[in-house]
């Protein structure tokens, strides 16, 4: 039963990635352009999108034989110069008794696209985190408010660079739970190999400004972009190794996989 709980949200993503990969590759009628590959990796591209992503963590610092997993469902919807992104996590985390699995804290980011050019996108706006976790171990028990900023640029058609920085702090919620203040930075780089295939790195560096805990991973992965009618599929896998950390329970190694879908008008 414990093994089932630990892997509860791993299997769906693996199945989805394989399914979309097989279907997309077999049905693809045209090779994506370099610009379409670049846009498919832009987290604030001005397009409707649905992203399914997963972090499988088979090793945690200070917790022998424990496994964690976070399965993300993200929806992106543009309304004029504002790009809305809602993220829902389904989590499995170790506890003192047995692993807890269920819904985590949902967050919404409203990005104002201050620059929205073909070769450069800059977005900034507020972020709110809702205390929706189904169990205490899966969330903070706090309403959190913060800010997020994203920069994504096309250096040359084959090479894209960018970064996402978020900060959030608790403003209300369960008085018996610890206050929060978390800073996260995600640098990313994409190098296109041609034919929709690309190399990638997009680790997230997380700093808990209250406890002093942090982890800094480095990652290197590969992805494939295919275009099926008016949908662009971006399927990838990226192993990530933590090189610096502080605190028990920080990921030592994780596998980041995803299937991102953008819908062309």
- The full 3-state SS of 26-42, as one line of letters, equals HHCCECCCHHHHHHHCC
Query: Residue 173: left if φ>0, alpha if ψ -120 to 50, beta else—which one?
Result: left
Could you give the angle at the alpha carbon of 132 between the alpha carbons of 169 and 56, nearest 5°?
A: 85
**Could you give the CA distance from residue 109 to residue 68 in angstroms, rounded to a whole number?**
25
- What's the predicted TM-score (pTM) here? 0.91
Residues 114 and 124: beta-carbon distance below 8 Å:
yes
Q: Using the predicted structure, report yes or no on whether residue 14 has a pLDDT greater than 80.
A: no
Residues 250 and 240: beta-carbon distance below 8 Å:
no
Query: Residue 196: left if φ>0, alpha if ψ -120 to 50, beta else—which one?
Result: left
CA 178 to chain centre: 25
Helix (DSSP H) and strand (DSSP E) numbers for the chain: 3, 15
Assigned architecture for domain 2-263: Beta Barrel (2.40)
Q: Which residues pair with 260 in a beta bridge?
A: 51, 234
Q: Please tell me which residue, 12 or 214, carries the higher pLDDT value.
A: 214
Q: What SS3 class is residue 179?
A: coil
What residue spans define the domains of the chain? Answer: 2-263
Residues 242 and 37: beta-carbon distance below 8 Å:
no
208 token code pair: 């808990």
Q: How far is CA 185 from CA 124, 151, 205, 217, in A?
A: 14, 12, 5, 11
Q: What is the pLDDT of residues 201-237, one digit of tens each?
A: 999 999 999 999 999 999 999 999 999 888 999 999 9
**Could you give the CA distance from residue 54 to residue 11 in angstroms, rounded to a whole number?**
10
CA 114 to chain centre: 22
69 token code pair: 């997993």
Residue bearing tokens 């409707």: 48
Q: Using the predicted structure, report yes or no on whether residue 3 has a pLDDT greater than 50.
A: no
Q: What is the pLDDT of residues 87-144, one digit of tens each?
A: 999 999 998 888 899 999 999 999 999 999 989 999 999 999 999 999 999 999 999 9
């Amino acid at each position: 039963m414990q093994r089932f709980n630990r892997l509860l949200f791993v299997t769906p993503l693996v199945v989805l990635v394989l399914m979309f990969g097989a279907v997309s590759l077999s049905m693809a009628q045209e090779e994506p352009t370099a610009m379409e590959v670049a846009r498919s990796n832009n987290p604030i591209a001005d397009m409707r999108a649905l992203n399914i992503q997963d972090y499988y963590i088979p090793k945690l610092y200070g917790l022998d034989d424990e496994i964690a997993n976070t399965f993300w469902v993200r929806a992106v919807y543009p309304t004029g110069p504002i790009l809305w992104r809602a993220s829902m996590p389904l989590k499995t985390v170790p506890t003192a008794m047995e692993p807890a699995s269920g819904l985590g804290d949902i967050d919404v980011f409203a990005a104002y696209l201050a620059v929205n050019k073909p070769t450069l996108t800059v977005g900034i706006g507020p972020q709110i985190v809702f205390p929706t976790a189904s169990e205490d171990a899966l969330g903070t028990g706090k309403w959190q408010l913060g800010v997020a900023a994203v920069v994504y640029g096309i250096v040359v058609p084959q090479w894209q660079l960018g970064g996402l920085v978020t900060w959030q702090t608790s403003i209300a919620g369960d008085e018996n739970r610890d206050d929060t203040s978390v800073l996260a930075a995600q640098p990313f780089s994409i190098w296109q190999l041609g034919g929709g295939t690309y190399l990638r790195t997009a680790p997230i560096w997380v700093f808990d400004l209250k406890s002093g805990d942090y982890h800094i991973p480095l990652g290197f992965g590969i992805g494939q972009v295919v275009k099926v009618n008016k949908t662009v599929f971006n399927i990838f896998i990226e192993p990530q190794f933590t090189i610096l950390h502080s605190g028990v329970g920080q990921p030592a190694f994780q596998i980041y996989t995803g299937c991102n879908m953008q819908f062309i008008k």
